[in-house]
Structure 1
Amino acid sequence: MPATSQKTAVVTGASSGIGAETARQLAAAGYRVFLAARRVDRIEALAAETGGTPVATDVTDADSVAALAAAVGPSLDVLVNNAGGAFGVSPVAEGDVEDWRAMYDVNVLGTLAVTRALLPALIRSGEASGGSAIVNVGSIAGRIAYEGGGGYNAAKFGLKALTNALRLEIVEQPVRVMEIAPGMVRTDEFSLVRMGGDQERADAVYAGVPEPLVAADIADAIVWMVTRPAHVNIDELVIKPRVQAAPHKVHRV
């Protein structure tokens, strides 16, 4: 595919997990992918594997986001706002304000910053091609609160509100605004980070769960969403393993 006609995508949080797998699958689908993450060594390795373009990016830093927008240039077909994370499982009565602030910063304000910076490029591409797309990676935690999840719930509920408001505000533009809300996804880092590096507690999250989702399942769904016809908007896609009925209801064996 000639470089001039190749579609482009940005994936934030591309250094691991869902972000890295989404970048792989978008590249396999023919996109030139800008790999945005803080860990440069990882995105450089992924770029070597996929032919993508690594861009060192901290979504909570304005200058870093501006540099990402400059690297992408004047047009962009797909933005996957995947950078996020959960920190801690304390109940609200013992909530760590810094953990809550960090979750809001990366999940909500980081998504805001990247979307605001890249929206002109998405609109320009949409006008030329008939449609571009934004996919925000939310969570079922943004739909149902659960004990020990207050801070993460608040952040992902906030992301859902941001997504819905943006869809209303730019409905006249040729840009689809979508959210994918995964349930239990086993990755190398999500629960480990949430548990402050305690591997035993992280492993316990998935203990006895016969088949949790994996990053490839979510990436596959994201690629499906962005490759629907331009007039089709998947407002939200909630995706869970069969054995998970709700955040707090999981069948274990």
Structure 2
Amino acid sequence: MSTEPRDELDGTEAPFVSHLIELRDRLVKALVAVAVVFIGLALWPGPGGMFDLLAGPLVKALPQGATMIATSVISPFMVPLKITLMAAFLVALPVVLHQVWAFVAPGLYSHEKRLVLPLVVSSTVLFYAGVSFCYFFVFGQVFHFIQSIAPKSITAAPDIEAYLSFVLTMFIAFGAAFEVPVVVVVLARMGVVPLQKLREFRGYFIVVAFIIAAVITPPDVVSQLALAIPMCLLYELGLVAAGLFIKHTSAPEDGAS
């Protein structure tokens, strides 16, 4: 009879490789989804149409006859292409997150699935809400406000690359800011910060929200209020949601104690 000690890692190579293969397949499916949406948007309305759609709020606020400019030779080609790719990722985001969920779900307990799936869905919806709020409300108000106080001797001709950078920054800022309820729920549910402490932190968060808005938004009152006020309201929503999550997603042993 052999007395050789058994290797602790024996038999783990196959599961590890299978996980890598599954991860690769999930990534490929996510990239295919983005590529399919990108091709569709490239065909209609096309990169030019996507740029015109994104530039709409600024163009409406510019003086009559004013247009945007391109200071780089390849900007008229690259900027609309980047915007189309960005839009494709946003449209395909539910598929991307579904692939992430399908990869991690088998390793979760049932009570963890009850926690993670609603967070994935709600974080996606909130990100979309933040981007939509920025595009449909904030941009129009900010651009009109800036043009209203600009000296009459200045001819507005924004560069398209600078505009793309500004739009991406604002989209990310508002999309991330609208994730406040998710952050509150995770902190409370995981026990990082007790829910009562989060409620007591309410007054400090208002100050933090206005500081964040002042740092990441343009130096105008409109955009700062448009970011800070929703963050404060969403914090309150997060406190309510955290109480519900803690009640309905506790582990069986926790619920029995």
Q: Shared fold by TM > 0.5?
A: no
Higher strand share: 1
Structure whose CA Rg is larger: 2
- More contact order relative to length (CA 8 Å, sep ≥ 6): 2
Q: TM-score, normalised by structure 1?
A: 0.30
Q: TM-score, normalised by structure 2?
A: 0.29
Higher helix share: 2
